[in-house]
Structure formats: structure tokens, C-alpha cells
Amino acid sequence: MATSTTDGARAHARAQEGERADAMPVVPAADWPDPPDGAGPLVWAETVAGGNYTHRVLARGTELRLTDPHGDACAHLLLYVADRPWERLNVADTVKVQWNAYLGTGVLLLSDQGRVLASLVADTSGRHDALCGTSTLARNTARYGDGTPQSPSPAGRELFKLAAAKNGLGPRDLPPSLSFFQGVEVGADGALDFTGSAGPGASVTLRAEQDVTVLIANVPHPADPRPEYVSTPLEVLAWRATPTGPDDPLRDATPEGRRAFLNTTEFLAARGLV
């Protein structure tokens, strides 16, 4: 169909209605063909291509499931309190407050105010990283020949800049991120050992404990030793649920976690949100 005229271009564009690519958002999310068992109404359903990014604001209590369908996704994650983005994920505090550098079920994702942004409520992967952050323009350019967002090998930080801009944030608002589905372990000598993927089908589920802005970049882990840029699609699903309640064992699993939840509840109560 000719697109050299306005009429032709319009007709061509309208002919694409209803067509779906392999990696794109599903709108409405309720049209996702295979919702998780027992999940509430879906509010976000998307397949993020390798070397791409996504973002969304999620309400408190929403559950977010990330899945690595093919075994070579790596979801780099940043979180911000939705209406006050100066409170954001602090990876250093997440690690040191909980005496644990390894992510898994029961870990809380903390801000620098000692409050819980999200809790990790399910994990079938066990291959994650809270130490290395995401890739940079300089590193990807040196390693793959290019790291710009439109290149075949975009860097995670460059994609985060785009996602941040769409939420009123700038480069200075990008702290170190967490990585899911590609693991790193610390050896006895302090060296980092890349443990790679758990394989196709692994997933993690996060529960938002405040209204949060979510930024995700799906790019290779910076410690991935493979010379080629390998990044397969990431599945993102979110559905309505409820925040961690006062009787949930997660709240009292550790003294540090109990205090973080108390800090969060006090803050939300002062704003009339609980």
C-alpha cells in the first residue's frame, strides 16, 4: 500500500489495527491470553524485547511478576515512590539492612528512608544480582561497538534514561539497579563469579508496598562473559492484589524487616493512606 500521500499513510496505519508483534504491550491487559492462576484483574501485560525497556506506575498492593521465557532475559529494575521520586530504591540499604547480598523470596526492596517499596514474594529462579548494577554506554561501546539506545547493543543505563524521562526524571535520578534472572556470587577471594541463568521459565513476583514507579531495562548483565550481545524477551504481568497485611509472616520474618514495615505503615498512616 502506497504511503507517499497522507491518505495512503493513514490507510496503511489503520490497517495495522489489531496486529500484534512478538514483543509489545497488550492493551487492555485483560486480553493477555494466559493470566496467572489466582491472580486478580491484570493491569499490565507486556513482552519486552531483548535490548528494550518499559515503565509503569503501580498502585500499592499490586503484584508484579517478571518471567524469563527463553532463559536469556535479564531484568534490571529501579523503583521510586510514585508521587515523591526522591525516595527510591537503595540497593546498598537493601543489602546491608537485611544482612544479605542475595535476592530471593522474602527479601524486601528498601528505600534510603528505611521503608519498604516492594517485597519479593515468590522466586523460581534464584539467579539475581544486587552488586553489579546495569551496563553503561562506555562499557557496551568498548565491548560490543555501540551502547546507544537505537543500536543493536543498547546499554541498560541509556535505556533507563529514556524510561526515566517519560516519568519526569533525569540521569541524576538513576541510582544503582537490581538485576533479575542472571546471577552473581562472591567468591572467598572477593571476586565476582557470574552464575548465569536458571533456564527458561523462571519467574519472580514482587508486591508493591507503596505506590511505585517501575523502570525496567532488559539487557545483558554486565558480567555476562559471552562476547555477543545476548538478550531474549522478558514477560511482565501485574495484577490487583493487596499489600502485605499485619498478620503476614513476612512482616515479622526478621527484626530489620519488621522495623522497615513499621516505618512504612507510619508514613502511610500520616498521609491517610492506611
- pTM for the whole thing? 0.95
Per-residue HEC secondary structure of the chain comes to: CCCCCHHHHHHHHHCCCCCCCCCCECCCHHHCCCCCCCCCCEEEEEEECCCEEEEEEECCCCEEEEEECCCCCCEEEEEEECCCCCCEECHHHHHHHCCCCCCCCCCEEEECCCCEEEEEEEECCCCEECCCCCCCHHHHHHHHCCCCCCCCCCCHHHHHHHHHHCCCCCHHHCCCCEEECCEEEECCCCCEEEEECCCCCEEEEEEECCCEEEEEEECCCCCCCCCCCCCCCEEEEEECCCCCCCCCHHHHCCHHHHHHHHHHHHHHHHCCCC
pLDDT of res. 44? 98
Q: What is the pLDDT of residue 139?
A: 96
pLDDT number for residue 10: 86
**Residue 13: per-residue pLDDT:** 75
Which residues of the chain are modeled with pLDDT < 70? Answer: 1
| pLDDT for res 23 | 83
Residue 193 CA, distance from chain mean position: 22
What pLDDT shows up at residue 163?
Answer: 98
pLDDT in tens, 25-82: 999 999 999 999 989 999 999 999 999 999 999 999 999 999 999 999 999 999 999 9
Q: Looking at residue 1, what is its pLDDT? A: 56
pLDDT at 18: 72
Query: Can you give the pLDDT at residue 2?
Result: 74
Strands 63-68 and 234-239: antiparallel
